[in-house]
Structure 1
Amino acid sequence: MRERLPLWVQLRCGLEPRALAALAVVLVAAAVFAAQHFWVGRPETVRAPELVEQGAAAPAPAPAPATDSEPELSPGPPVPSAAVPSGRIIIDVSGKVRRPGVLQLPAGSRVADALHAAGGVKPGTDLTALNRARVLVDGEQVVVGGSIGGTGAAGGPVAQPAGPVSLNAATAEQLDTLPGVGPVLAQHIIDYRTQHGGFRSVDELREVNGIGDRRFADLQNLVRP
């Protein structure tokens, strides 16, 4: 061992046992460090990343199950359309016309339009008390014939009053003889006088449901409280 060491080492360390042991430890440590450094720095094989196909859609998440706090909504039954198309009105024309019955007319039609749709009035019918220029409303009844209407709700002849009809005493049939007043509007008049204790003036007729300014103008000279 001594002969194999370099000369400068032999001279420097004096070849003492302790010096030889220390030198051996340093050499071993240097060899281990060199081996570790070489192992860490060695080249490694790297795998290429997998290609992701463009446009691939991610799977849609499954719908969450319904809970008691959020019940599933089921489609309800279809909503039926209105019985009367928009812009149309239903009118009942009775009395002395060629084709009495329930007619469907455009909104804004007048009494003359209803008479024409009913085939016209019968010969000899007196239309003096009938305002043919009046605008009709939906659900109205037009009774043709006589001095102020001609027929009652049941279709039979009605005795014509000698003077204005009393709003506080007239029956539904008597009110029905007034121009533009059908069974529905006659019942509204009776309901109003029942709720308010009667009519105190003809002007209160304006407050009845279904009576506007034009209809009031047709009735104000034909009625009294």
Structure 2
Amino acid sequence: MLVLLIVLIGVGSSILFYKRTARPPLEILLPTTIAVTTEVKVYVSGAVAHPGVYTMRQGDRVLDAIDAAGGTTENADLTRINLAAKVKDEQQIHVPKPGESLPQESSGQPQKININTASVEALDTLPDIGETKAQAIVNYRKEHGDFKRIEDLVEVAGIGSSTYENLKNLITVD
């Protein structure tokens, strides 16, 4: 009996020892994200020190592109461009001189106005939009955040479907 008891104790201890050492420690793997920086090419022209094509990072601002071109000349009119706008691939950024008209895009079409970044003055240049509706767009944007689609413009008080139809080819949210 004593031998049987010793054998059972030995087998029990072996099982406990095996269970404690057989499992590898739990390893927790956290997901890693890899930041992908997309490069964009922009053409900076007008009243800048070194006009030309510059490689920028996606998310850079118009001001960054102007700085890459050596900054502005003494006769630059920065009040007519949005320095905080994000640059886009193949974009032309023209820094005008006082009294100079802004160039059209290479397609010959007027450059679309971004309703998420445009000032009241810029919005006021759109057909069927006066200063009151332009201010309403800016106020709506401040209250509700950026427009997700250009179609969301009809949510602004005073802008209906007929006004939207006249604007849809002249505006963007990109």
| TM-score, structure 2 as length reference | 0.44
Q: Which has more helix, going by share of residues?
A: 2
Q: Which has the higher contact order (CA 8 A, sep 6+)?
A: 2
